[in-house]
Amino acid sequence: MNSMDIRRTFLDYFIQHQHVQLSSSQLVPANDPTLLFVNAGMVPFKETFLDISQRTTPRATTVQKCLRVSGKHNDFETVGSSPRHHTFFEMLGNFSFGDYFKREAIQLAWGLLVQVLQLPLERLWFTVYRDDDEAARLWEEVGAPRERILRFGEKDNFWTMGETGPCGPCSEIHYYQGSDLAQQQASGVNSDDDDYMEIWNLVFMHYNRDIQGHLTPLERPCIDTGMGFERLVAILQGVKNNYETDLFQPLIERLQQLLGQQSSHYRAHTSLYHTIVDHSRAITFLLADGIAPANEGRSYVVRRILRRAAYLGQRLGMERPFLAHMAQTVIEKMGPVYPELVLKQAYIQQLITDEEGRFRSTLVTGLQHLEAMVQQSGAQESGILPGSVAFTLHDTYGFPVDLTQKVLSERLVKVDLEGYEESRREQQERSRSGSCLKQSVESLSELVRELPPTEFVGYTRLECQGTIL
Ligand code: ATP
Ligand code: MG
Ligand code: MG
Ligand code: MG
């Protein structure tokens, strides 16, 4: 099954079960200052969970654009080394707004995975929140073997979107991707073992969490589920790494082509290739949703992702800007599903070209400066780069500090982040006092402009120490 068919199969299944298909919202949450980016399918429905009278339909299904690069759900540093964590990804979801609850949510998930998609039961594991006997019983009811139903605590099985908001215990489905079925163990689930992959989270929305951490029950319990689309595609296409699916392969091929390299080069630098193709998708989607690179907030996130991708391209030997070409392939492949990419194509390419061009002009000298400073400061021996150097890289060469950290991480050198913050504060102080001086000069000039024209009276009168002579 290709990824297009898989997306469609998911949506059609829930439509058949009386869900209304809604389109993905933008990556920036509407009117929600608690969150930088939409990090799950439920985010656009936050207000509906909190106030059920706002619902326009009792059941909905979506494929939601998500980004996990900040806040509670942040996978930025995991991308590349993880076979299944992306910055940008699509989350498949079905939602009940005060309509069905646990039993039907579990039956629906089982029906799709086991009956429609025919995933082998001997590879599936189910988890429930520690005291959720009801969910455990319901999984048994649909046919899950008891020994494959596991209990976990807060960290894995109590879902919250951020510090505040709707939340509740959850139940997840995990998939064993290892080659030897007999090797499976319960201890692999929710561990660092990549043979076990979490695929679907069913959240039983019960509460709203406030800033003090207090939980208030929702008026009507709701269902929110989220399944990583790329992970499901990997399973159905029989690959262990999301990047080996048809969602990423065309991007990897394009990158290889732009580098003028063969597949052996990809095999030697897999993690860099994966990071670049991941970031290319994130940048393209962020720009399509109107977030242009700049130095503040959300815009700085785009800048950081783009600059990291540009740096990694340079490391792979790319001699000229290439990210607009990568975006082109993203648009070609994803445009049929996300028409905003096609509509904004020219704008996306222009912004990427400008930003990458600007950064490339300082990238090489910035790296040379970093190298010289590593030598000079003895950072290689001490394992710590002075914060002031990281600040100069940021201020003069446009290196976001996380990029400097990334560059140095391969050499096991860390950045003194406190020192970096101190340099940043000092610079802010300087520019503040600089702007005070500028302000005084400006108000003086204003005053002068407001004064009536001066008449020269020196031809007829002389003034000396206040006395008219
Ligand atoms: P993991 O434990 O693998 O980091 P999670 O528990 O953080 O996942 P949830 O918040 O439960 O993930 O999100 C629901 C689903 O979204 C997950 O079961 C997974 O399939 C998918 N998912 C989560 N994070 C990512 C990511 N960074 N990239 C791609 N898919 C993801
Ligand atoms: Mg996670
Ligand atoms: Mg998890
Ligand atoms: Mg989870």
pLDDT at residue 463 tops 50: no
- In angstroms, what is the span from residue 409 Cα to ligand 2's centroid? 22
Residue 17 has, within 13 A of its CA and on its CB side, a CA count of 20
The percent of residues in the chain predicted with pLDDT above 70, rounded, is: 93
Give the chain's length.
469
Instruction: Report pLDDT digits (tens) over 93-148.
Output: 999 999 999 999 999 999 999 999 999 999 999 999 999 999 999 999 999 999 99
Among 143, 141, 196, which Cα is nearest to 173's? Answer: 196
Q: Is residue 68 within 6 Å of ligand 1 at its C-beta?
A: yes
The pLDDT value given to residue 71: 87
The CATH classification of domain 3-180+188-236, taken from the options 3.30.930.10, 3.20.20.70, 3.40.50.410, 3.40.50.970: 3.30.930.10
Q: Is residue 85 within 6 Å of ligand 1 at its C-beta?
A: yes
In which residue are the tokens 């654009």 written? 65
Q: Is residue 91 within 6 Å of ligand 1 at its C-beta?
A: yes
Give the global pTM: 0.91
Q: Mean of the pLDDT values across residues 391-403?
A: 94
DSSP-derived letter for residue 384 is E
In which residue are the tokens 């962020």 written? 286
- In angstroms, what is the span from residue 202 Cα to ligand 1's centroid? 12
The pLDDT value given to residue 411: 87
The pLDDT value given to residue 334: 98
Q: Mean of the pLDDT values across residues 229-233?
A: 98
Instruction: Report pLDDT digits (tens) over 192-202.
Output: 999 999 999 99
Decide: 81 and 145 in contact? Cβ < 8 Å.
no
Neighbours of ion ligand 4 (CB under 5 A): 201
Among 26, 22, 24, which Cα is nearest to 58's? Answer: 22
Cα separation, 399 vs 46, whole angstroms: 36
Mean of per-residue pLDDT scores for the chain: 92
The pLDDT value given to residue 467: 38
pLDDT at residue 89 tops 70: yes
Range scoring the smallest mean pLDDT among 291-295, 296-300, 420-424, 464-468 = 464-468
Q: Write a three-state SS string for 194-242.
A: CCEEEEEEEEEEEEEECCCCCEEEEEEEEEEEEEEHHHHHHHHCCCCCH
| Domain definitions of the chain by residue range | 3-180+188-236, 248-363, 378-448
The percent of residues in the chain predicted with pLDDT above 90, rounded, is: 86
Cα separation, 97 vs 51, whole angstroms: 10
Instruction: Report pLDDT digits (tens) over 8-56.
Output: 999 999 999 999 999 999 999 988 887 899 999 999 999 999 999 999 9
Instruction: Report pLDDT digits (tens) over 236-272.
Output: 999 999 999 999 999 999 999 999 999 999 999 999 9
The pLDDT value given to residue 461: 56
Q: Is residue 89 within 6 Å of ligand 1 at its C-beta?
A: yes
Residue of the CA atom closest to atom 27 of ligand 1: 85
ipTM higher than the 0.95 cut: yes
The pLDDT value given to residue 297: 92
Residue 317: band (very low, low, confident or very high) from pLDDT cuts 50, 70, 90: very high
Listing DSSP states for 307-369 in one string gives HHHHHHHHHTT--S--HHHHHHHHHHHHTTT-HHHHHTHHHHHHHHHHHHHHHHHHHHHHHHH
Q: Mean of the pLDDT values across residues 164-188?
A: 95
pLDDT at residue 448 tops 60: no
Residue 468: band (very low, low, confident or very high) from pLDDT cuts 50, 70, 90: very low
The pLDDT value given to residue 306: 98
